[in-house]
Amino acid sequence: MNTDPTQQTATGWWTEAAIYQIYPRSFADSNGDGIGDLPGITARLDHLVELGVDAVWLSPFYPSPQADAGYDVADYRDVDPLFGTLADADKLIAEARSRGLRVIVDLVPNHTSSAHRWFQEALAAAPGSAQRSRYIFRDGLGPAGDQPPNDWQSVFGGPAWTRTVDPDGQPGQWYLHLFDTGQPDLNWDNPEVHEEFLDVLRFWLDRGVDGFRVDVAHGLIKQANLPDWQEPQEILSGNEIDKPRPPMWDQEGVHEIYRQWRQVLDSYPGERVLVAEAWVEPAERLARYVRPDEMHQAFNFEYLLAAWTAPAQYAVITRSLEATDSVGAPTTWVLSNHDVVRHASRLGLAVGGGRPNGIGIGDPQPDAALGLRRARAATLLMLALPGSAYLFQGEELGLPEHTTMPDEARQDPTWARSGHTQRGRDGCRVPIPWEADAPSYGFGPTDASWLPQPPSWAEYALDRQRDVPGSTYELYRAALRLRRAHGLGRGTLEWLSSGDETLAFRNGDVTVLTNFGEAPVPVPPNAEVLATSAPLTEGTIPTDVTVYLRG
Ligand code: NOJ
Ligand code: CA
């Protein structure tokens, strides 16, 4: 499908990898304080080998006041005591490597924590100082300077500006934070900021990491003069190619930064990678982040957001492949992460009903059985697509969102900042269940869990699913095994049918068929069923089921 014959197609482990996202707070707790940690992860690495993934991506574990669960970094070169020590990070990397697992760490360059030394120095320094020019400080509007410098809103709700208090106690300048007040945006027009992050890259590359997932990669450069933007704030850049782009997202200047970073990564042995978290639409714009001299991959959020219908899935898969082919990069696929409602619940909501930012008590509840059935079908389909696939911890257990979490337990800043209108992301971040009958379902040695685990989660525990035919865990293992054995990640997709009710494509010697319609679809005669997301009925593929076939 490569549309440009002069374009080299990328090769390397990452082009076809299955990459498992670990959210350290919620994966495994070694010391019983209710918060997952690095030694906990190291102790559970064999699970990932048994599952059959190629790499892990770790969400932030750096020193942080945890205003946004660690995406507010106070020191980019250390580990928060909550999660362990730098020695624990080294051990984790070494133990992963000895098992053949690659390790990607999270890099948060759009903003620091307000507790970062730089921001503290900026607060103590005068307007116009070198210390302040590492961030985006401005005088307020109006005679008293008590109006924010522009109308931008924070992604978490409320204004994107906070006024500072000068050392003499008088109200001072304002600073920009596209996210929480505890996450001041850095000024990427300042060369010192560039130097600092080049050094941070080297720090972790020297420790042996295989790459970086780059947080808010589309946000670093803001349009000059920070013009007002009347539209409601979203982390998305705009969904039509000719629509005006918001002045805070997807500005041209970000690409030069990633070209520089790419040179640093390329100067290291091995295949080190950059993965963009860029909420950029459409796919043609996103593809600009993965041109040959920029990042290696970008998360395909358009795929994650696509409706569960044959035409919508056909369109997004086709568009994604065409867009990345045009720049010689592999496509990526993702259905869940720590920022969205888990797909086992999302797909149990009415089709086309929009994208809820969290689900809580009093909200329309997903149909759990339908959601899981569709999630299994969606995952089986996804794992047969060429390119690399990202999995979020717990989805291999079929974990749903915690949709009845008491509001008092919520910790996502979104809930408070949106004036309690958006519940936010806690429901997908609940510590995961390992053993049905252990305290905290084996998450840690005690009952402590930083977010409450629902009482129904025993049934999802790993030890209830291991070696159980038909369990979601065994389905993931089988799919990952087949993906590897048949080279699906490095294969080529050839559509066989794309109707309103079914989708079918061939990838190498595997035919993949998903039935979205109401009528059962007969398995073609002589076809061998390699995998199915739910039992077949009398030789037919029921509704919301994906099968892998051969012959
Ligand atoms: C994207 C991260 O995935 C999310 O969890 C975080 O809140 C924002 N970036 C801000 O860093
Ligand atoms: Ca702990």
User: How many whole angstroms from 215 Cα to the centroid of ligand 1?
Assistant: 6
Q: Does the pLDDT of residue 245 top 90, yes or no?
A: no
Nearest CA to ligand 1 atom 4: 339
Annotation says 88 is catalytic:
no
Q: Please report which ligand is nearest the Cα atom of 35.
A: 2
Name the band, by pLDDT with cuts 50, 70 and 90, for residue 443. very high
* pLDDT at residue 99, rounded to an integer: 98
Nearest CA to ligand 1 atom 6: 71
What is the tens place of the pLDDT at every residue in 288-305?
999 999 999 999 999 999
Name the band, by pLDDT with cuts 50, 70 and 90, for residue 355. confident
User: How many whole angstroms from 444 Cα to the centroid of ligand 1?
Assistant: 25
Nearest CA to ligand 1 atom 5: 339
User: How many whole angstroms from 446 Cα to the centroid of ligand 2?
Assistant: 10
The pair of structure tokens assigned to 290 is 């993965």
Q: Does the pLDDT of residue 235 top 80, yes or no?
A: no
Q: Mean pLDDT throughout 35-52?
A: 98
Q: Please report which ligand is nearest the Cα atom of 83.
A: 2
User: How many whole angstroms from 39 Cα to the centroid of ligand 2?
Assistant: 8
37, 54, 106, 215: the active-site residue:
215
**Candidates 176, 214, 216, 393: which one to mutate for ligand 1, based on the most atoms within 8 Å of Cβ?**
216
Q: Please report which ligand is nearest the Cα atom of 334.
A: 1
Q: Mean pLDDT throughout 16-28?
A: 98
DSSP structure string for 159-170: BSEEEEE-TTSS
* pLDDT at residue 3, rounded to an integer: 43
* pLDDT at residue 7, rounded to an integer: 55
* Residues within 5 Å of ion ligand 2, judged at the Cβ atom: 29, 31, 33, 35, 37
Instruction: Count CB-CB contacts under 10 A for residue 446.
Output: 13
- Distance between CA atoms of 345 and 350, rounded to whole angstroms? 11
Q: Mean pLDDT throughout 213-239?
A: 86
**Candidates 339, 341, 393: which one to mutate for ligand 1, based on the most atoms within 8 Å of Cβ?**
339
Q: Mean pLDDT throughout 25-48?
A: 98
Q: Please report which ligand is nearest the Cα atom of 214.
A: 1
Range in 77-81, 348-352, 363-367 with the lowest mean pLDDT: 348-352
What is the tens place of the pLDDT at every residue in 90-120?
999 999 999 999 999 999 999 999 999 999 9
- The partner residues of 391 in beta bridges, in order of sequence, read 20
User: How many whole angstroms from 408 Cα to the centroid of ligand 2?
Assistant: 22
- Distance between CA atoms of 300 and 276, rounded to whole angstroms? 10
* Amino acid at site 39: P
**Candidates 68, 116, 185, 334: which one to mutate for ligand 1, based on the most atoms within 8 Å of Cβ?**
68
Share of the chain above pLDDT 90, in %: 93
Q: Let me know: does 338 contact 392? Beta carbons within 8 Å.
A: yes
Among the atoms of ligand 1, which is closest to the Cα of residue 337? Answer: 3
The pair of structure tokens assigned to 483 is 């993906």
User: How many whole angstroms from 216 Cα to the centroid of ligand 1?
Assistant: 7
User: How many whole angstroms from 230 Cα to the centroid of ligand 1?
Assistant: 23
What is the tens place of the pLDDT at every residue in 145-160?
999 999 999 999 999 9
What is the tens place of the pLDDT at every residue in 480-501?
999 999 999 999 999 999 999 9
Q: Let me know: does 528 contact 549? Beta carbons within 8 Å.
A: yes
Q: Which residues contact 107 (CB under 8 A, 6 or more apart)?
A: 76, 197, 200, 201, 204, 212, 213, 214, 215
Q: Let me know: does 101 contact 47? Beta carbons within 8 Å.
A: no
CA quadruple 38, 12, 333, 287: dihedral positive or negative? positive
* pLDDT at residue 231, rounded to an integer: 77
**Candidates 23, 61, 104, 179: which one to mutate for ligand 1, based on the most atoms within 8 Å of Cβ?**
179
The phi, psi pair for 512, rounded to 5°, reads -115, 130
Nearest CA to ligand 1 atom 11: 71
- Mean pLDDT for all residues in the chain: 95
Q: Mean pLDDT throughout 259-288?
A: 96
User: How many whole angstroms from 48 Cα to the centroid of ligand 2?
Assistant: 20
Q: Mean pLDDT throughout 180-193?
A: 98
Among the atoms of ligand 1, which is closest to the Cα of residue 111? Answer: 11
Q: Does the pLDDT of residue 6 top 50, yes or no?
A: no
Cα distance between the two ends of the chain: 24
* pLDDT at residue 287, rounded to an integer: 97
Among the atoms of ligand 1, which is closest to the Cα of residue 71? Answer: 11
277, 302, 325, 339: the active-site residue:
277
Q: Does the pLDDT of residue 4 top 70, yes or no?
A: no
Name the band, by pLDDT with cuts 50, 70 and 90, for residue 241. low
More confident residue, 4 or 224: 224
| 3-state SS, residue 36 | coil
Q: Let me know: does 479 contact 375? Beta carbons within 8 Å.
A: no
Q: Mean pLDDT throughout 319-330?
A: 96
Share of the chain above pLDDT 70, in %: 97
Q: Mean pLDDT throughout 523-551?
A: 96
Residue ranges lining ligand 1, Cβ < 6 Å: 68, 71, 108, 179, 215-216, 277, 338-339
Annotation says 277 is catalytic:
yes
